[in-house]
């Protein structure tokens, strides 16, 4: 659970509102006044917009735990990945606006259901409302860890507001070159921005720590989605991680890619990942000396990709 108390988190909320008024919550730094209803690149207003709230049983084992991750999927995104697996909520903005008080109740309900944590998915552009909800959840007895699931494209000033609030960071590291980041995600500064953000996250929470039931209580799990044709530049990305983070860091090398959204117009993203491509990435990770690597089954594309038009977006059977 967060180290900070309710009043301390509310102080962070006030700072987040200041950033929202001339929006620099994310690296886009649109500069619009979202407190008055203006929208920037993420096309979202001042209140949190939520697409789904549910116990999630498809995350990495320490995040899923024995009760599922208490996952809150927020609408909108500050990137434009042509292959986005969550495009229904990130680009098509499936979901609805909720009050911060409603969000507090939902966070506590997830805890009451026995979830291992509260997992916030793509929350940064909704940060003031999220912080308000967390503050009052802490006040009312929140005692499970807060997991921050992000695409990695984060502003350092925003991450500073999360120090002492987020227990577990779950970021992506998508690319190793500005060319690929621009071509496939319209985010040319992604690489240097995400790398700096991940180093900041690790400085706050360190390596993954689990409890006696193997549930994550603190630390960083760094995700990387392997893409067809080495679009994600996996080998370069893993080499950078080796050079800048401990080899004891926990990696999650993901195989769940499937052609969705606009990917069919961008070969080789129009095909599935092959076993040879994925196995090569895993073998390289081992060769670099990483000690803690989560590996996905190739059939994860059938269970790990959601459909947010359904009442139950995931198929875990």
Q: Find the domain containing 230 and state its range.
A: 6-303
Q: Return the pLDDT at 303.
A: 67
Q: Give the pLDDT of the chain (317 residues) as one tens digit per residue.
A: 899 899 999 999 999 999 999 999 999 999 999 999 888 899 898 999 999 999 999 999 999 999 999 999 999 999 999 999 999 999 987 888 999 999 999 999 999 999 999 999 999 999 999 999 999 999 999 999 999 999 999 999 999 999 999 999 999 999 999 999 999 999 999 999 999 999 999 999 999 999 999 999 999 999 999 999 999 999 999 999 999 999 999 999 999 999 999 999 999 999 999 999 999 999 999 999 999 999 998 877 666 678 888 878 887 65
Tell me, yes or no, whether 117 lies in a domain.
yes
Q: Give the whole-angstrom CA distance, residue 294 versus residue 292.
A: 7
Q: Give the whole-angstrom CA distance, residue 235 versus residue 230.
A: 8
Q: Return the pLDDT at 314.
A: 81
Tell me, yes or no, whether 314 lies in a domain.
no
Tell me, yes or no, whether 25 lies in a domain.
yes
| pTM across the whole model | 0.95
Tell me, yes or no, whether 298 lies in a domain.
yes
Tell me, yes or no, whether 311 lies in a domain.
no
Q: Return the pLDDT at 235.
A: 98
Count up the domains in the chain and report the number.
1
CATH number at residue 215: 3.20.20.70
Q: Give the whole-angstrom CA distance, residue 93 versus residue 101.
A: 22
Tell me, yes or no, whether 313 lies in a domain.
no
Q: Give the whole-angstrom CA distance, residue 92 versus residue 88.
A: 5
Q: Return the pLDDT at 70.
A: 97
In the block, tokens 């002492």 appear at 164
Q: Return the pLDDT at 299.
A: 78
- Classify residue 243 as exposed, middle or buried by CB count within 10 Å of its CB (0-12, 13-18, 19+): exposed
Q: Return the pLDDT at 179.
A: 97
Tell me, yes or no, whether 211 lies in a domain.
yes
Instruction: Map the chain to HEC letters.
Output: CCCCCHHHHHHHHHHHHHHHHCCCCCCCCCCCCHHHCCCCCCCCCCCCEEEEEEEECCCCHHHHCCCCEEEEEECCCCCCCCCCCCHHHHCCCCCEECCHHHHHHHHHHHHHCCCCEEEEECCHHHHHHHHHHHHHHHHCCCCCCEEEEECCCCCHHHHHHHCCCCCEEEEECCCCCHHHHHHHHCCCCHHHHHHHHHHHHHHHHCECEECCCCCEEEEEEEEEECCHHHCCCHHHHHHHHHHHCCCCCEEEEECCCCCCCCHHHCCCCCCCCCHHHHHHHHHHHHHCCCCEEEECCCCHHHHCCCCCCCCCCCCCC
Tell me, yes or no, whether 96 lies in a domain.
yes
């Amino acid at each position: 659970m967060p180290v900070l108390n309710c009043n301390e988190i509310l102080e962070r909320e006030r700072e987040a509102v200041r950033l929202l008024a001339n929006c620099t919550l994310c690296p886009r730094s649109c500069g619009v006044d979202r407190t008055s209803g203006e929208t920037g690149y993420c096309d979202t207003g001042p209140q949190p917009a939520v697409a789904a709230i549910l116990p999630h049983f498809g995350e990495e084992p320490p995040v899923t735990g024995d009760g599922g991750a208490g996952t809150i999927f927020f609408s909108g995104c500050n990137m434009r990945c042509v292959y986005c697996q969550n495009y229904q909520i990130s680009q098509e903005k499936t979901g609805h606006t909720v009050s911060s008080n409603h969000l507090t109740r939902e966070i506590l309900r997830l805890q009451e259901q026995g979830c291992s944590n509260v997992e916030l998915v793509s929350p940064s552009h909704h940060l003031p409302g999220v912080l308000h909800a967390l503050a009052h959840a802490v006040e009312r007895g929140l005692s499970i860890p807060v997991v921050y699931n992000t695409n990695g494209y984060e502003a350092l000033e925003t991450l500073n507001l999360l120090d002492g609030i987020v227990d577990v960071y779950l970021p992506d590291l998508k690319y190793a070159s500005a060319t690929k980041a621009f071509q496939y995600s319209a985010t040319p500064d992604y690489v240097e921005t995400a790398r700096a953000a991940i180093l900041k996250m690790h400085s706050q929470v360190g390596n993954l720590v689990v409890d006696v039931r193997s549930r994550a209580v603190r630390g960083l799990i760094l995700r990387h989605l392997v893409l067809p044709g080495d679009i994600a530049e996996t080998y370069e990305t893993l080499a950078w991680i080796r050079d800048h983070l401990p080899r004891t860091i926990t990696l999650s090398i993901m195989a769940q890619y499937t052609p969705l959204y606009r990917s069919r117009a961008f070969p080789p993203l129009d095909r599935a990942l092959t076993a040879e491509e994925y196995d090569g990435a895993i073998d390289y990770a081992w060769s670099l000396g990483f000690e803690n690597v989560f590996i996905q089954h190739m059939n994860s594309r059938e269970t790990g990709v959601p459909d947010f038009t359904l009442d139950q977006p995931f198929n875990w059977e």
